[in-house]
Amino acid sequence: MILRDFRLRDAPSVLRQVQENFAGEFALTGFDPAHFLRVVEKTHRGWIGMARRVLQLFGQTPARFLIAEESGELRGTTLLTLQRGHGYLSMVMTDARYRQRGVASALLNWAEQISQRRGKRYVALDVLSGNEGARRLYGHRGYRPIRRTSSFVRELDGKAPSGPSVRPALSSDIPFLETVYRRRIPDPVREVMPDGGSSVLPSRWLDRILLSESEAWCLGPEGRPTAYARATFTTPREAGILSLPYIAIDLPPADQRTLVEAALAWLSVRRTPRAVVTLAEGNEPMRLLVESLGFQERWSTETLAKRLTASS
């Protein structure tokens, strides 16, 4: 088996695997194959592709698209992003014809080695709670659960209601928001992912690469906001993502609704057919809020992490 980095000619095979492995999720969130191929091409051509190759040459690339190939066929793939303190694996996929033949283990070994060489202490990934086969594999390899999350979906009617009055999130809000957020991260998660795996303000640079658009809003005074939410969308055929809904514990319910409704109005203007929000287990105030706004729980996920050692 050959382990190598992604090449642009791999895109059709990767697309087929993505559609096979995540059919259930995409039935709810939507998936545009043409959009996927445009993003892949954009990241591998022009100045972005050149910058990525230079960073990889010096061992500083923030992401590696890993491929397992045998006899000229793509057997499996995963995306490794190198974040603060840990490597994170997205889309660990094996071709259905070649499962239980060590493909996923080979990819995990390589990703762990890369992460360790880059000074990361952990590798983390998310797995659907009902995917028993994958959970057994990860458990045998030393991955342990550190967080459980639930994803909620709400259909949007395509109308563009006038959103409530909220202010945009500002750079001056970041220190306070990050402090509040980190205090709420459970200790096992904080140990692996000190920043919770997310940033506060949208990345305009990343939006351009992913052909997406993001916006963030706050309630309360500049520098000490009482609440925050962010929304992202890519194409009209994909769900909008409502992210990181920090809500102060003592914030009146009406103000909580104001913030989330503003994000939903922003998504509706962009003709997004549905919205998805993911909440950590135990966040009952936000669960009650999103359910009161018509969201329904559709699937749950566990974040697993493995501590890297000299023998990894």
pLDDT, one tens digit per residue, over 165-176 is: 789 999 899 888
**298 Cβ contact list (under 8 Å, min separation 6):** 28, 151, 152, 153
What's the rounded mean pLDDT across residues 42-59?
Answer: 61
**In CATH, what is the architecture of 153-301?**
3-Layer(aba) Sandwich (3.40)
For the chain, what is the mean pLDDT? 85
pLDDT at 198 over 60: no
pLDDT at 161 over 60: no
pLDDT band at 59 (very low <50, low <70, confident <90, very high): low
The answer to whether 51 and 256 are in contact (CB under 8 A) is no
CATH 1.20.950.20 fits 2-120, yes or no: no
Specify the domain boundaries for CATH 3.40.630.30 within the chain. 2-120, 153-301
Measure the CA angle with vertex 101, ends 100 and 107; round to 5°: 100
Region of residue 144 (left: phi > 0; alpha: psi -120 to 50; beta: else): beta
Tell me the C-alpha distance between 197 and 83, whole Å. Answer: 8
Q: Model's pTM, two decimal places?
A: 0.86
**68 Cβ contact list (under 8 Å, min separation 6):** 1, 2, 3, 74, 75, 76, 77, 94, 103, 106, 107
The secondary element (H helix, E strand) that includes residue 296 is strand 296-307
